[in-house]
Amino acid sequence: MPCAGNLTKLMLNFNMFKTVLPGMFDSLKKLETLQMKGNVISNLPAFLLLHLHNLRVLDLSQNKIQDVKRETFSGPAKLEILKLNNNLISNLTSDLFHNFSKLEELHLEGNNISELADDSFSVLTKLKVLNLRGNLLTSFSGKLFGFNAPNLKELNLKGNMLTTLSSLSSLTSLTDFILSSNQLSDLPEDTFRNVTALENLDLSENQLTLLPEMVFNELFSIKAIHLNKNNLSRVDANLFEDQLLIQQLYLSDNQLESLPLGLLDPFVIQHTVRLHGNPWKCDCHMWYLHDWVLRNGRDVEMLDRMLCSSPGFLRRRAVVSIDKDQLVCEVSRDATTDLSRCRVQASGDTVIVNCKVDKCSPLTVRLQFQEEDGSITEHYLKNESKCSNDTVIDIPGL
């Protein structure tokens, strides 16, 4: 090929190349970009890139490559972008990328990688983007970087089989961390310690049941936290106390029945919240969230899908459509020593309900009038006294 030695870009995408011959690119010493995307290459010869000292971009994605060796990548010390995504790679040796100290993007998504050796990425101190989405990893640790990842900005681990995370404190520059669609059931409290540049954290579609109170501590720059589609049944009142600049908080499709007092109060700028798909228990424990939703309804996406799951008479009702007086807690044996000690007395047109209680807690009585046609009218009365041993409620006109 005339003047082939002056080529800087070679694109061989979407052909039917099955093999790459040794020495095939030896004469292309000025080549900066080599793309062989979308072929059916299964093996790469050793020293394939030995003479490509100016190569900066190598795209071998969407092939059928099963095995890659360090010798294959000998030569291009200036490589900045390497794409091996959507192949059949299952194993990476710990020294595979040791020739690529200037690499900034590494794409390994869509392979069959189940394990990575410690220090696999330790020489990649310039690395900004690492995509491991859609592999078979069960654990991930900062040891992969030799505890030295000063420039890593984006890390995508979506769609693996992760059950554990550990030692992420080296990811001090990380801004975007995608962990969705894994099998995480819990997070250690120090999971994100020192990851203080984090802006976007996606933990959706995992199996989280509980989050430590301080797990997001000092993540002052965070703008989005996605916790939707987990199994969270409760969250701590101080969970988001450092997230003043948050713009997105997704708590939808969990097992939450209520939210603790003050949980959503730290946010100081315009934000978007998703709360639908939870089994909200619309009783007195819902007062805080009910008031917050009424004040901030414009910030809640799919507000009409945020429904009460219980009690029965409010089931399937939108939380925003309910009056606060309907959010009541019935007296139970948890709140009284013995409900048999409640007495009902009639005097003229007045009914007196007298209950002996042992705890200093407010008491709510729900009164139901049932007509002959079966329709029910309800009234609610609250005992405002916080610490009274005797609660007497007069109901005039009955």
CA 10 to chain centre: 40
| pLDDT (tens digit per residue) in 26-54 | 999 999 999 999 999 999 999 989 999 99
pLDDT for 354 equals 66
- Is residue 361 one of the residues assigned to a domain? yes
Following DSSP, what letter does each residue of 49-117 receive, concatenated? TTT-TT--EEE--SS------GGGG-S-TT--EEE--SS------TTTTTT-TT--EEE--SS------
| Other Cβ atoms closer than 10 A to 166 | 13
| pLDDT (tens digit per residue) in 100-148 | 999 999 999 999 999 999 889 999 999 999 999 999 999 999 889 987 8
The pTM (predicted TM-score) of the whole model is 0.82
Tell me: pLDDT of 386 over 80: no
Please, which pLDDT band fits residue 346 given cuts at 50, 70 and 90?
A: very low
Query: Phi and psi for 281 in degrees, rounded to 5?
Result: -95, 105
Helix ranges (H only) for the chain are 287-296
- Is residue 353 one of the residues assigned to a domain? yes
Q: How far apart are CA 156 and CA 180, in angstroms?
A: 9
- Is residue 122 one of the residues assigned to a domain? no
- Is residue 261 one of the residues assigned to a domain? no
Evaluate whether 152 touches 132 at the Cβ level (below 8 Å).
no
Q: How far, in Å, are 351, 373, 398 from residue 370 at the CA level?
A: 17, 8, 13
Between 188-197, 267-276, 316-325, 349-358, the lowest mean confidence (pLDDT) is in: 349-358
CA 316 to chain centre: 27
Q: Average of pLDDT values for 235-242?
A: 96
- Is residue 350 one of the residues assigned to a domain? yes
Please, which pLDDT band fits residue 194 given cuts at 50, 70 and 90?
A: very high
- Rg of the chain over Cα atoms, rounded to whole angstroms, equals 31
- Is residue 182 one of the residues assigned to a domain? no
Q: How many domains does the chain have?
A: 1
- Is residue 379 one of the residues assigned to a domain? yes
Burial of 397 (0-12, 13-18, 19+ CB in 10 A): exposed
What would the two tokens of residue 231 be?
């199994």
- Is residue 343 one of the residues assigned to a domain? yes
Evaluate whether 143 touches 167 at the Cβ level (below 8 Å).
yes
% of the chain residues with pLDDT over 90: 70
Please, which pLDDT band fits residue 321 given cuts at 50, 70 and 90?
A: very high
Domain around 348: 339-396
